[in-house]
Structure 1
Amino acid sequence: MRKIIAALNMTVDGICDHTAGIPDAEIHQHYTDLLGQGDAILYGRTTYELMEFWRTILENPSEQKSMNDFAVAIDRIPKIVFSHTLKNVDWKSASIAKRDLKDEVLELKQQPGKDIFIGSRSLIIQLLKLNLIDEFQLCIHPMLEGNGLQFFEDINDRIIFKLAKTKTFKNGAIILYYQPIKE
């Protein structure tokens, strides 16, 4: 059975906007490697449209090898987009979900293969409420953003996690690998 992994960057004050954080070559390499370990990544419309930025790096490579490598990795991994307004996508490795989030994830979990990643805050919150996330990989950047989209908003129930491991980057960012304790 495949794991459903919520992987997200956030600041110390809990802001998870994709423009917040301090990405560097080491962090880009981490996420490049991570994408190689998965069979798909799930996005909501807004995050999917933000991630389309990486297509421009494929067309016009950056001076930073780590960004170019990440662009190739994000291009390769299949992307499943959940949207009520988006009717089609033109990224070859992307498709619109045909079922609702719960049914799609339950089916993906049962299939053989590598892990499935969730890269959108809205989907993470929905799947957290459905008790369908097996692991959180929260990359905490050593900064306060001050304002923006709070990650754990609209959570009404207590959820306890077990810390499985950590990974520290040279720039001070740290990934906390948490597993929800199923009660």
Structure 2
Amino acid sequence: MRKIIAAINMTLDGFCDHMAGLPDEEIHDHYTELLKEGDAILYGRITYQLMQYWQTLIKNPSGEKSMDDFAMAIDKIPKIVFSHTLKNTDWDSAKLSNQTIEEEVLELKQQSGGAILVGSRSLIIQLMKHNLIDEYQFCVYPVIAGAGLPLFENINERAILKLIKTKTFGGGAVILYYELKKE
């Protein structure tokens, strides 16, 4: 059975904003390795469209190794996109799902293979409500954003997580690895 890993960047005050973090070479390298280990990544429309930025580095590499390596990894991993408005993905390694997130994840979990990554706030919230996430990886940046989209918005049930590991980066970011604690 495949593992579902929710991996997301957030600020110290709990906001998810790809622009608020301070990604550096070390963090790009970490996420490049995570992408290489995964068999697919699930995105909602908004995050998917943000991630399309990396296609520009495939066509025109930046010359910064960690960013170019990340661009190649994100380009290669199959992407499953959940959207009610997109008609196509314009990315060879991406496809639109024709199922609900719950149906798609339940089907993916039953297949053999590597981990399935979830990289969108909205999908993480939906999957949390259905207890379909096996591991959480919160990359917390040493930034207080003051405003933005809170990760745990509209979560109405208590969830107790068990810390299983941490990883600290030179720039001050920390990845907290959690699994759902069985009560």
Taking structure 1 as the reference length, the TM-score comes to: 0.98
Count of equivalent residues: 183
Residue of structure 2 in register with 1:28 after alignment: 28
1:118-139: CA deviations, max 9, x gaps?
0000000000001000000000
Matched residue type, 1:133? I
Of all paired residues, the percent bearing the same amino acid is: 66
Matches of 1:96 and 1:182 in 2, distance apart? 33
Residue of structure 2 in register with 1:161 after alignment: 161
| Poorly superposed stretches of 4+, deviation over 2 Å | none
Matches of 1:169 and 1:103 in 2, distance apart? 36
Pairwise CA RMSD? 0.8
- Where does structure 2 lack aligned partners over 5 or more consecutive residues? none
Taking structure 2 as the reference length, the TM-score comes to: 0.98
Matches of 1:100 and 1:31 in 2, distance apart? 26
1:122-141 pair list within 5 angstroms: 122-141=122-141
Residue of structure 1 in register with 2:64 after alignment: 64
Secondary structure class of the residue paired with 2:178: strand
Residue of structure 2 in register with 1:54 after alignment: 54
Matched residue type, 2:160? I
Matched residue type, 1:85? T
What is the deviation of 1:19? Answer: 1.0
Matches of 1:181 and 1:104 in 2, distance apart? 24
Matches of 1:63 and 1:20 in 2, distance apart? 23
Secondary structure class of the residue paired with 1:72: helix
1:47-101: CA deviations, max 9, x gaps?
0000000001111111311000000000000000001111211100000002111
Matches of 2:63 and 2:146 in 1, distance apart? 30
